[in-house]
């Protein structure tokens, strides 16, 4: 029912509900014999709306599951609202989902600032905040204070710790220059890098921040070059990662590059190569945990074929080259898994219990060998990844699975 | 404590600032063009450029050669600009300037949404018009792309100045803004002059978009550029083509220099996160001294 | 005779409007009164913006930044100094009013687009400034009153009791916001009818003429910004009281632009039109979102509606009201040709 029709109905005097902010009732809100209602927020308009695929991929996967019988004969209804990446709106829409739509749980809300905005409230009213789509480590770490919250993706701190350790071990004479996004995400990666370097922290010769609202990062890259760095850490979103490569090329600078997983999808690297040169991207290092639909490695992979067919059937064929859709599906797969294990008549308590006792070895959207696993004291579902190196225009993974919690 | 100055580092920042400024200048010129020929600020200028850049990309994807796509895009932009004026600006032609500005804001959202509706949101690649190969001059790296952008901006400004000062059409366009009613009495086709202004601005904007599209672009890529172009145009004087270029280049340089003061041997510089506030403060200071911008004439208001 | 009739109609309309506003919450769901409260926040902000832009003729693209100052004042006082949220509202208004006076200073030198850019600069720079001074503002993550000072939030338990009446938190926010809005509306109306209001309009219509009639340009321009700032500060404060959190991402320059859209849609120089502007700002984005989930459609609808409304009502809702009501009274009392 739309807001407009609420007013219309209200003026006719047909609707006079004053429900009050009541606490959770005995039988779980949002669960009927036919349906489980979950909700979340995501930016659907504005500059951050590229992330909308995180919700769309998940929504498409739920439709696929529903078409195949649902979960314990219940269909999953996933409502996602537009928060424009504004925490005040996130809170407002989430409150609406809880108070007005009476969702069973909040799922897959995107962003660090946005999820922080609602965490206190959701824990106060005891509504599960499931599989937060943000790499801040607080989602997995602070479960004592926020028992109703659990993260999903590898933490940024852990990812950068891996780069730091790798550099300390393989190239202890590096001069490291860091480009980072000047917000919680970028700063987490910086913290991780310093942690991984340990005693070799002094290798960092310069850190340059940029704002998401900047148009380019040339000035920052030029300063890193001027500090005679020979290793470049790109802790930036795809647009700025591509710019880093291309600016370095225009400055005649060819450092060894570490690019964060947010920006290392194969199609991004292809653009980075085209707009700089083959030699500029050659040897770049990153980590990977999802199957990237643009990576030739997965051309014949069953899960990627499933991914495509789901998008074709339930998303109008949009986003076939978009790794955020894979992320959304992977997260939805885990949500379905948690619901399956939450019992015949799931409650908010039982789904929280299931979400903290995951042992998923069959999530098709993550790299082979990675298990999605949690315990009540280990709330990092996706905690493994692989290092990869860019060689001859494609990623090649190397080394064993590494822990990213 | 004495800090050594790093002149090459400083010069590199100035050059980088000029290169960014060249990009802002192209869009600033489009803003000035619409302002001079119709008397309004077009908030949708950046999104129009974004949209035509996507068109160029789509043409290339469909097998059209790069330069062919560029030529077609500029033509489509010109026709599109005229069409937009006729369809959505014309009905509010006589409304207060702020009403027209809000209509262009509506157009901003409309075009942005349309681009998201038609094309997927990942980063897109369109080759650059110029080579990105760097050339070294006295220890400073500058790419052929940068030189090309600045050259195009200066050429476009010159053409505009010539158009407004020396051609009959340009004179007619200026007359229409100054006094639409007497222009009509003189036999100038006011409506078409306004449309022509929009067409030319859209065409110019499309070139700005194509130059900004490298290394990658998406549906939001022109938004920061619009902001800087607006600031650059105001700094230079909103009714001056020369001012738009000088103002934008200066803004590009300010943005880089305020965060690179340490290269001057000061041992201190402004943090990156205060870069924009600092650059805007500089602009405010300049405006307080010259209230109509560096090259602007005392303004004609239309409110 | 005409004037009497017009005033009678006006009083009647105002009475009906107030009555509708009082009973409205009982006809919508509880949560919905929170949305209606949000509309009240927009209303206060654009009444203030209208004073400076619609009546005094000074374009401001900086009102989002002023709202940020009001909002952060409240957040900081509650989270760091233990004040109860509602008591910070007047303080936030006053502080923002003072800042508004300062923002008005460039208006002494600049006008038109140049002034618009100066104020726009403030709203563009505001998020960076808020992030930078993290000791006061909480930086990137902002301040979360729910967690930092839950006991200072009125109605966090779900209900509020005033003078023996118990209200839900959402109803409380609704009545709080709209009571303040009503007081500020009456104040604006009185102000604009006074000599100050005449001075504002004189400056808007012609600065030179105003000055030759002895209007102190500098005084009234800065005063307009100061008063307008007070309104923005109260709006920002109420926004935070209701949201219980504050974050730099909520105060981007888009907010300033949005407020200007609301003011122009409502009608520059019309106070009654602001109610339309406020509801437009509160409900249009949400209605657009609900048209379709397909990417971009929400923005397309949002943009198209703005364009169509402006084409249909170039003077905004207020302009249309005038056009509609004046011929009506004219029709009633004079023979049409």
What local confidence, expressed as pLDDT, does residue A258 receive? 98
Q: What is the mean pLDDT of chain B?
A: 90
CA atoms within 13 A on the CB side of A138: 15
| Beta-carbon separation of C296 and B103 below 8 A | no
pLDDT digits (tens, 9 = 90+) for C75-110: 999 999 999 999 999 999 999 999 999 999 998 889
Cβ atoms A374, A381 nearer than 8 A: yes
B215, A245: Cβ pair inside 8 Å?
Answer: yes
From the CB of residue C148, how many other CB atoms can be counted at a distance below 10 Å?
Answer: 17
**What average pLDDT does the segment B62-91 reach?**
96
Q: How far is B234 from chain C (nearest CA, A)?
A: 6
pLDDT confidence tier of residue C1, bands split at 50, 70 and 90: low
Q: What is residue C328's predicted lDDT score, i.e. its pLDDT?
A: 54
Residue B285, classified by CB atoms within 10 Å of its CB into exposed (0-12), middle (13-18) or buried (19+), is exposed
Q: Where does residue B159 rank: exposed (0-12), middle (13-18), buried (19+ CB within 10 A)?
A: middle
DSSP three-state, residue C295? coil
- Chain C nearest-CA distance from A87, in A, is 7
In angstroms, the CA A127 to CA A46 distance is: 28
List the subunits that have 3+ CB pairs under 8 angstroms with B.
A, C
A300 closest CA partner among A311, A288, A291: A291
Residue appearing with tokens 């230079």: B236
Using the beta-carbon criterion (under 8 Å), do B292 and C264 form an inter-chain contact?
no
State the pLDDT at residue C4.
Answer: 80
Check if A318 contacts B (Cβ < 8 Å): yes
Asked if C146's CB is within 8 angstroms of A3's CB, the reply is no
- The C-alpha of A61 sits at a distance from chain C's nearest C-alpha, in angstroms, of 16
CA A230 – CA B127 distance, rounded (Å): 28
pLDDT at C152: 87
**Is there a contact between B132 and A249 if contact means CB atoms under 8 Å apart?**
yes
For residue A157, the Cα-to-chain-centroid distance in whole angstroms is 14
Q: Residue B170: its pLDDT value, please?
A: 87
Q: Are A37 and A79 in contact (CB under 8 A)?
A: yes
Q: Does B297 touch chain C (CB under 8 A)?
A: no
Instruction: Provide φ and ψ at C166, rounded to 5°.
Output: -105, 125
Q: Could you read off the pLDDT of C34-58 as tens digits, one per residue?
A: 999 999 999 999 999 999 999 999 9
Evaluate if residue C161 carries a pLDDT over 90: no
Question: Cα(B233)–Cα(C117) distance, rounded to whole angstroms?
Answer: 10
Q: Is B224 within 8 Å of A215 when comparing Cβ atoms?
A: yes
Per CB-CB distance under 8 Å, the chain C contacts of A182 are 131
DSSP A294-306: TSGGGTT-HHHHH
Q: Which of B12, B23, B123 sits opposite A222 (nearest CB)?
A: B12
CA distance B148 to B131: 9
List the one residue out of A260, A259, A252, A243 whose CA is nearest residue A279. Answer: A252
Q: Report the b/e string of A281-299 with b at 16+ CB within 10 A.
A: bbebbbbbbbbbbbbebbe
| C120 in contact with B, Cβ within 8 Å | yes
Positions in chain A whose pLDDT score sits under 70: 1-27
B270 pLDDT higher than 80: yes
Instruction: Tell which C residues from 34 to 73 touch A, by Cβ distance under 8 Å.
Output: 34-35, 38
C146 contacts in chain A (CB < 8 Å): 120-121, 124
Round to whole Å and give the CA distance between C67 and C97. Answer: 11
What is the reported pTM? Answer: 0.91
C30 touches chain A (CB under 8 A): yes
Q: Is C26 exposed, middle or buried (0-12, 13-18, 19+ CB in 10 A)?
A: middle
Distance CA A26, CA A187 (A): 42
Q: CA–CA separation, A342 vs B204, rounded Å?
A: 60
Check if the beta carbon of residue B238 is closer than 8 Å to that of residue B296.
yes
Distance of CA A148 to the CA centre of its chain: 19
**What's the average model confidence in pLDDT over B124-148?**
90
User: What subunits touch chain C, counting only 3 or more CB pairs under 8 A?
Assistant: A, B
C29:A19 CB<8 A: yes
d(CA C153, CA C286): 27
Q: Which of B27, B44, A3 is nearest to C303 (CA)?
A: B44
In this predicted structure, the answer to whether residue B191 has a pLDDT above a threshold of 80 is yes
Q: What angle do CA C170, C280, A37 make, to 5 degrees?
A: 50
CA of B234 vs chain A CAs: smallest distance (Å): 19
Cβ-in-10-Å burial (0-12, 13-18, 19+) of B301 comes to: exposed
Q: Measuring CA to CA, which residue among B221, B194, B169, B214 is closest to residue B70?
A: B214
CA–CA separation, C310 and C316 (whole Å): 7
Residues 6+ positions from B113 with CB-CB distance below 8 Å? A45, C296, C297, C298, C299, C300, C301, C302, C303
For residue B215, cis peptide bond before it (omega within 30 degrees of 0) = yes
Contact B80, B52 (CB under 8 A): yes
pLDDT band at B99 (very low <50, low <70, confident <90, very high): very high
C-chain CB neighbours of A120 within 8 Å are 144, 146-147
Of residues C156 and A266, more confidence is placed in A266
Enumerate residues 6+ apart whose C-beta is below 8 A from A1.
none
User: Which residue in the set B120, B220, B272 is minimally distant from A209, CB to CB?
Assistant: B272
- Put simply, whether A53 touches B (Cβ < 8 Å) is yes
The rounded distance, in Å, linking the Cα atoms of C84 and A361 is 51
C296: nearest CA partner in chain A: A45
List the beta bridge partners of residue A42.
Answer: A82
Point out the residue among A16, A113, A121 whose CB comes nearest to the CB of C249.
A113
3-state secondary structure of A317: coil
Structural tokens at position C268 = 């520059």
C124 to A147, A339, A344, C248, C255: CA distances (angstroms): 38, 44, 52, 11, 10
Yes or no, beta carbons of B276 and A319 under 8 Å apart: no
Report helix, strand or coil for B18.
Answer: helix
pLDDT band at B2 (very low <50, low <70, confident <90, very high): low
Distance of alpha carbon A78 from alpha carbon A93, whole angstroms: 14
| Cβ–Cβ gap B122/A321 under 8 Å | yes
Q: Do A120 and C287 touch (CB under 8 A)?
A: no
Optimal mutation site among B127, B142, B216, interface A, most CBs of chain A within 10 A: B216
Q: Does A14 touch chain C (CB under 8 A)?
A: no
Whether A246 and B214 lie within 8 Å, measured CB to CB: yes
C149 and C82 Cβ atoms separated by less than 8 Å: yes
Alpha helices in A227-265 (DSSP H): 238-250
Residues 139-178 of C with CB under 8 A from A: 140-142, 144, 146-147, 158-159, 168-170
Using the CB atoms, write b or e for C297-311: b if 16+ within 10 Å.
bbbbbbbbbbbebbb
The answer to whether A305 faces chain B, any CB pair under 8 Å, is no
pLDDT of the residue at A310: 96
pLDDT at B264: 84
**Residues in B touching C111 (Cβ below 8 Å):** 291, 299, 301
Residue C268's CB is within 10 A of a number of other CB atoms, namely 24
What's the pLDDT at A164?
96
In this predicted structure, the answer to whether residue B94 has a pLDDT above a threshold of 90 is no
pLDDT (0 to 100) of residue A12:
34
- Distance from C-alpha of A159 to C-alpha of B102, rounded to nearest angstrom: 45
Chain B residues 38-77 within an 8 A CB cutoff of chain C: 41, 43
Cα nearest neighbour of A23 on chain C: C158
Chain C residues within 8 A of A81 when measuring between CB atoms:
289
- Give the chain B residue nearest A275 (alpha carbons): B215
Q: What is the nearest CA distance from A137 to chain B, expressed in angstroms?
A: 24
**Nearest residue in B to A227, CA atom:** B9
pLDDT, position C329: 53
- C310 → closest Cβ in B106, B108, B274: B106
ipTM of the complex: 0.92
H or E element at residue A69: none
Given an 8 Å threshold on Cβ–Cβ distance, is A44 in contact with C147? no
**A contact chains, 3+ CB pairs < 8 A:** B, C
Residue C303 host element (H or E): helix C297-312
Beta-carbon contacts below 8 Å between A and C: 121
Residues 165-224 of B with CB under 8 A from C: none
pLDDT at B298 over 80: no
| DSSP category for residue C54 | I
Q: pLDDT value at position B76?
A: 97
pLDDT band at C258 (very low <50, low <70, confident <90, very high): very high
Asked whether the beta carbons of residue A267 and residue B228 sit closer than 8 angstroms, the reply is no
């Amino acid at each position: 029912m739309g807001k407009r029709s609420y007013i219309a109905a209200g003026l006719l005097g047909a609707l006079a509900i004053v429900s009050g902010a009541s606490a959770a009732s005995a039988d779980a809100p949002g669960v009927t014999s036919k349906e489980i209602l979950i909700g979340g927020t995501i930016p659907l308009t504005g500059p951050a709306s590229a992330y909308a695929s995180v919700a769309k991929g998940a929504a498409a996967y739920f439709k696929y599951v529903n078409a195949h019988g649902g979960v314990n004969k219940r269909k999953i209804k996933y409502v996602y609202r537009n928060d424009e990446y504004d925490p005040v709106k996130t809170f407002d829409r989430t409150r609406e989902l809880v108070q007005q739509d009476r969702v069973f749980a909040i799922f897959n809300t995107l962003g660090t600032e946005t999820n922080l905005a609602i965490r206190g409230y959701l824990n106060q009213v005891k509504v599960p905040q499931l599989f937060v789509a943000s790499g801040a480590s607080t989602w997995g770490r602070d479960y004592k204070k926020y028992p109703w919250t659990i993260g999903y993706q590898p933490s940024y701190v852990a990812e950068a710790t891996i780069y730091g350790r790798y550099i300390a071990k393989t190239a202890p004479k590096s001069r490291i220059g860091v480009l980072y996004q000047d917000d919680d995400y970028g700063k987490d990666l910086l913290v991780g890098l310093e942690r991984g370097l340990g005693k070799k922290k002094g290798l960092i010769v310069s850190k340059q921040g940029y704002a998401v609202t900047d148009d380019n990062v040339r000035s920052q890259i030029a300063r890193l070059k001027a500090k005679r760095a020979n290793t470049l850490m790109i802790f930036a979103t795809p647009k700025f990662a591509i710019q880093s490569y291309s600016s370095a090329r225009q400055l005649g600078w060819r450092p060894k590059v570490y690019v964060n997983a947010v920006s290392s999808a194969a199609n991004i690297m292809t653009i980075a190569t085209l707009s700089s040169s083959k030699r500029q991207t050659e040897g770049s290092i990153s980590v990977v945990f999802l199957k990237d639909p643009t990576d030739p490695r997965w051309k014949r992979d069953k899960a990627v074929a499933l991914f495509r067919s789901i998008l074709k059937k339930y998303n109008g064929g949009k986003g076939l080259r978009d790794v955020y859709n894979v992320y959304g599906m992977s997260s939805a797969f885990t949500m379905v898994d948690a619901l399956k294990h939450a019992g015949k008549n799931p409650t908010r308590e039982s789904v929280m219990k299931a979400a903290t006792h995951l042992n998923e070895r069959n999530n098709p959207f993550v790299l082979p060998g990675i298990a999605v696993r949690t315990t009540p004291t280990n709330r990092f579902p996706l905690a493994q990844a692989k290092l990869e190196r860019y060689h001859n225009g494609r990623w090649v993974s190397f080394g064993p699975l590494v822990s990213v919690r | 404590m004495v800090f050594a100055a790093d002149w090459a580092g400083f010069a590199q920042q100035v050059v980088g600032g000029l290169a960014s400024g060249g990009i802002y200048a192209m869009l600033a010129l489009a803003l000035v063009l619409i302002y001079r020929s119709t008397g309004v600020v077009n908030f949708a200028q950046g999104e129009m450029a974004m949209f035509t850049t996507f068109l160029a990309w789509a043409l290339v994807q469909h097998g059209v050669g790069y330069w062919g796509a560029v030529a077609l895009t500029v033509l489509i932009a010109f026709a599109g600009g005229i069409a937009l004026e006729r369809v959505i600006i014309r009905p509010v032609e006589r409304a207060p300037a702020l009403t027209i500005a809000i209509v262009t804001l509506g157009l901003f959202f409309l075009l942005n949404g349309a681009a998201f509706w038609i094309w997927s949101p990942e980063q897109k690649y369109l080759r650059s018009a110029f080579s990105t190969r760097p050339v070294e001059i006295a220890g400073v790296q500058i790419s052929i792309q940068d030189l090309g952008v600045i050259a195009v901006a200066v050429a476009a400004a010159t053409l505009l100045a010539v158009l407004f000062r020396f051609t009959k059409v340009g004179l007619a366009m200026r007359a229409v803004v100054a006094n639409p009613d007497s222009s009509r009495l003189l036999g100038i086709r006011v409506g078409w002059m306004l449309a022509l202004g929009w067409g030319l601005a859209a065409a110019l904007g499309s070139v700005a978009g194509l130059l900004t599209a490298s290394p990658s672009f998406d549906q939001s890529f022109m938004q920061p550029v619009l902001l800087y172009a607006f600031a650059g145009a105001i700094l230079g004087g909103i009714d001056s083509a020369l001012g738009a270029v000088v103002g934008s280049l200066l803004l590009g340089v300010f943005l880089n220099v305020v965060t690179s003061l340490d290269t001057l041997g000061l041992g201190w510089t402004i943090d990156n996160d205060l870069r924009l506030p600092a650059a805007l403060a500089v602009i405010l200071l300049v405006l307080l001294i010259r209230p109509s911008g560096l090259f602007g004439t005392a303004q004609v208001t239309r409110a | 005779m005409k004037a009497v009739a017009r005033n009678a109609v006006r009083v009647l309309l105002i009475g009906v409007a107030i009555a509708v506003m009082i009973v409205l919450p009982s006809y919508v769901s509880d949560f919905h009164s929170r949305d209606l409260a949000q509309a009240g926040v927009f209303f206060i902000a654009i009444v203030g913006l209208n004073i400076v832009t619609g009546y005094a003729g000074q374009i401001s693209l900086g009102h989002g930044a002023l709202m940020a100052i009001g909002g952060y004042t409240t957040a900081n006082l509650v989270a760091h100094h233990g004040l109860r949220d509602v008591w910070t509202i007047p303080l936030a208004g006053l502080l923002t009013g003072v800042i508004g006076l300062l923002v008005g200073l460039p208006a002494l030198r600049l006008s038109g687009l140049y002034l618009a850019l100066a104020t726009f600069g403030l709203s563009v720079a505001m998020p960076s400034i808020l992030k930078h001074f993290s000791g006061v503002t909480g930086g990137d993550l902002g301040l979360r009153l729910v967690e930092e000072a839950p006991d200072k939030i009125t109605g966090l338990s779900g209900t509020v009791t005033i003078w023996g009446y118990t209200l839900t938190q959402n109803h409380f926010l609704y009545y709080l916001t709209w009571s303040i809005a009503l007081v500020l509306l009456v104040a604006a109306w009185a102000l604009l009818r006074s000599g100050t209001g005449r001075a504002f309009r004189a400056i808007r219509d012609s600065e030179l003429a105003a000055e030759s009639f002895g209007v102190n340009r500098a005084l009234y321009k800065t005063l307009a910004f100061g008063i307008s700032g007070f309104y923005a500060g109260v709006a920002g404060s109420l926004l935070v009281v209701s949201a219980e959190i504050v974050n730099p991402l909520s105060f981007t320059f888009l907010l300033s632009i949005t407020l200007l859209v609301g003011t122009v849609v409502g009608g520059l120089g019309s106070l009654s039109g602001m109610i339309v502007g406020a509801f437009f700002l509160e409900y249009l984005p949400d209605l657009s979102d609900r048209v379709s989930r397909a990417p971009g459609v929400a923005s397309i609808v949002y943009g198209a509606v703005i364009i169509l409304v402006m084409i249909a009502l170039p003077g905004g809702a207020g302009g249309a009201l005038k056009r509609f009501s004046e011929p009506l009274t004219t029709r009633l009392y004079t023979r049409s040709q």
